[in-house]
Amino acid sequence: MTTRSRNESGESTRSRLIAVAAELFRAKGFAATTTREIASVAGIQKATLYHHIRRKEDLLYELCVDALDHISAAADGVLSREGSAVERLRALIEVHVATILGERDQHAAMLTELRSLPPDARAEIVTRRKGYERRIDELISAAQEAGELRGDFEAKDLRLALLNMLNWAIFWFRPDGEHSPEELGKLYAEVFLAGTSRALPERPSSQQAAL
Amino acid sequence: MTTRSRNESGESTRSRLIAVAAELFRAKGFAATTTREIASVAGIQKATLYHHIRRKEDLLYELCVDALDHISAAADGVLSREGSAVERLRALIEVHVATILGERDQHAAMLTELRSLPPDARAEIVTRRKGYERRIDELISAAQEAGELRGDFEAKDLRLALLNMLNWAIFWFRPDGEHSPEELGKLYAEVFLAGTSRALPERPSSQQAAL
DNA sequence: GTCTATAAAGAGATAGAC
DNA sequence: GTCTATCTCTTTATAGAC
């Protein structure tokens, strides 16, 4: 275990390397990103990179752990709030979007480059992600049982529909684009909650979904 | 221009190679898939592969063109139907999902590996995709103008929310999973249209969205 | 902790026979 | 249209000096 020195900005070399790797992995993909390039952008020689990590995959693994820790902590803050299940769900949606778009590089790499991890590391990340997804399922179920969300779809299927809508935004979102992460979070919360509210608009044929 | 011979199943070697490449590109990504592997799965030698294509990128490019041609043709069939704008939109959603999940390999590769194409080819595919997206925008706008969809969000933002929800399914969908593409299409159409219908559920605070 | 130099393997693509 | 053999370049990773 090496003592991690820190530069003037208080950032360890290791975490700087992870940030650089995340940026490149999001932009070009894990396989198309070379260790030379990571070292170059970080301003060190390639051999120096291997003083900080053992393999290129280490960067992807640690980046995934960081990203999941971060979004889990953000979710904790929301889930422990007062209020109805659907109010917490709305807040969770907004926090999820703000987090993945605010830390776009790390979350994009985590969500899309997982297949490039060695099996053991991948399995661990998948398990962590399932823990996060399970808590969303529980919140959706609670909202259904409280009569706040429609009960004619399974919580798991609604969670998948929701995360679909939130996560794909990492592909096209640009920090200098028309809408902020917060605005997009509000929009998606609005569309999803209106679409799954128990108080349905008058469209009788769709009250009972045939899934 | 070579005469394309066909094997007993009536499939040209070239289209078989594209199908094999799509499968591997979806599973491992473009950069992580080797030409040796493509040739091996197709049952030929690597040198033979280069009799049919000039570069590895050709496979990705043609696969994208095929995928977009296919989904565009499917959309044409829906857009020319009789019925209200929202009815056509519902049908379009179901056709979109059935197409991308029914031809998962090609559409996943087209949607996620585009960055691996050379600039010229990528630009052409992006233009084709924009044409498809524009037609969705027009249909959403028509539904808004007809008073069938809520008008407090821009058509472009609603289209992005919709395609987010539909496209991310390519990451987790498995043909042997719980739901068929058709079932998922109905679910997503239901959630999106209920969420964006002009007849909103009674939740006064969300009638005017602050975007 | 960083460097120069290099090893060892794998990649895309081609030559030329059949 | 397919093959064996090979070229050339790039890749990940390591050796060992400072």
What are A97-116's pLDDT values in tens digits? 999 999 999 999 999 999 99
Question: By percentage, how much of chain A surpasses pLDDT 70?
Answer: 89
Of A161, A171, A194, the CB nearest to B206: A194
Provide mean pLDDT across the span A167-187.
98
A158 contacts chain B (CB < 8 A): yes
A3-57 pLDDT per residue, tens:
455 554 447 899 999 999 999 999 999 999 999 999 999 999 999 999 999 999 9
Instruction: Output B207 or B179, whichever has higher pLDDT.
Output: B179
pLDDT tens digits for range A56-91: 999 999 999 999 999 999 999 999 999 999 999 999
**Helix (H) / strand (E) containing A117:** none
For residue B201, the 8-state DSSP code is: -
Give the distance, in angstroms, between residue A116 CA and nucleotide D8 C1'.
27
Contact call for B165 and A169, based on CB within 8 A: no
What are the angstrom distances between the C-alpha of B48 and each of B13, B15, B39, B58, B100?
11, 14, 8, 15, 30
> pLDDT band at B20, cuts 50/70/90?
very high
> What's the CA gap between B190 and A1, in Å, rounded?
54
Q: Which two tokens stand for residue A119?
A: 């099996």
From the CA of A7 to the C1' of D9: give the distance in Å: 37
Q: What's the mean pLDDT in B28-55?
A: 98
- Give CA torsion, residues B144, B146, B147, B153, to 10 deg: 10
Q: Which nucleotide is nearest to A39 (CA to C1')?
A: C2
Yes or no: say if B157 and B196 are a contact pair by the CB < 8 Å rule. Answer: no
Task: Provide the whole-model pTM.
Answer: 0.93
What is the share, in percent, of chain B residues with pLDDT greater than 90? 88
DSSP B72-103: HHHHHHHHTSSS-HHHHHHHHHHHHHHHHHHT
